[in-house]
């Protein structure tokens, strides 16, 4: 099974967070698992906020990309996933996220219209939810496609 991000059109596979063609980036990979979309990611040692804990900006970045993949997951046609972009991103850091373990990011769509989707997510590490987040994903506007 391919990651949703690997089904984005080649011209839009350069995202720093999840683009397969961005060799500098995080290359997040999100997969459909039942009624949810799941990504697993192990931060590097330099992705810290303070020693021992994951940088909140990285967590925001991961849920951002994961939300766009989750929004696209049910609209894949002919092995191509449509590209959504973020209108709103809301992240609640429930507790510090320890560095050194794999993160599990789970997302599902709670509302959808023709143009947008609302995605809710959690980040779990070693069985504990440390982050809750939601995002408003919108179809990429034509102004970004030129």
The pairing of strands 84-93 and 128-139 is antiparallel
Contact indicator for 6, 12 with CB cutoff of 8 Å: no
- 139 scored as a contact of a second copy (CB under 8 A): no
- 142 scored as a contact of a second copy (CB under 8 A): no
Region from 33-41, 69-77, 86-94, 109-117 binding a second copy, contact rule CB under 8 A: 86-94
Region from 29-37, 74-82, 90-98, 110-118 binding a second copy, contact rule CB under 8 A: 90-98
Contact indicator for 17, 67 with CB cutoff of 8 Å: no
- 55 scored as a contact of a second copy (CB under 8 A): yes
Q: How far apart are CA 121 and CA 132, in angstroms?
A: 6
User: Least distance to a second copy from the beta carbon of 37, Å?
Assistant: 17
CA atoms within 13 A on the CB side of 82: 18
Q: Which of 78, 92, 114, 127 binds a second copy (CB under 8 A)?
A: 92
Please give the biggest Cα pair distance in the chain.
45
Q: Which of 15, 69, 118, 121 binds a second copy (CB under 8 A)?
A: 15
- 24 scored as a contact of a second copy (CB under 8 A): yes
User: Least distance to a second copy from the beta carbon of 35, Å?
Assistant: 25
In the numeric block, which tokens belong to residue 48? Answer: 């810290």
């Amino acid at each position: 099974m391919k990651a949703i991000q690997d089904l984005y059109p080649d011209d839009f596979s350069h995202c720093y967070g999840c683009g397969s063609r961005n060799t500098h980036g995080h290359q997040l990979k999100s997969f459909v698992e039942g009624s949810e979309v799941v990504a697993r990611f192990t931060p590097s040692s330099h992705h810290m906020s303070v020693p021992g804990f994951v940088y909140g900006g990285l967590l925001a970045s991961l849920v951002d990309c994961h939300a766009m993949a989750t929004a696209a997951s049910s609209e894949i046609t002919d092995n191509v996933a449509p590209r959504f972009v973020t209108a709103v991103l809301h992240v609640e850091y429930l507790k510090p996220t320890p560095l050194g373990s794999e993160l599990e990011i789970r997302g599902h769509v709670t509302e959808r219209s023709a143009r947008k989707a609302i995605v809710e997510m959690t980040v779990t590490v070693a069985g504990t939810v440390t982050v809750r987040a939601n995002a408003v994903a919108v179809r990429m506007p034509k102004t970004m496609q030129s």
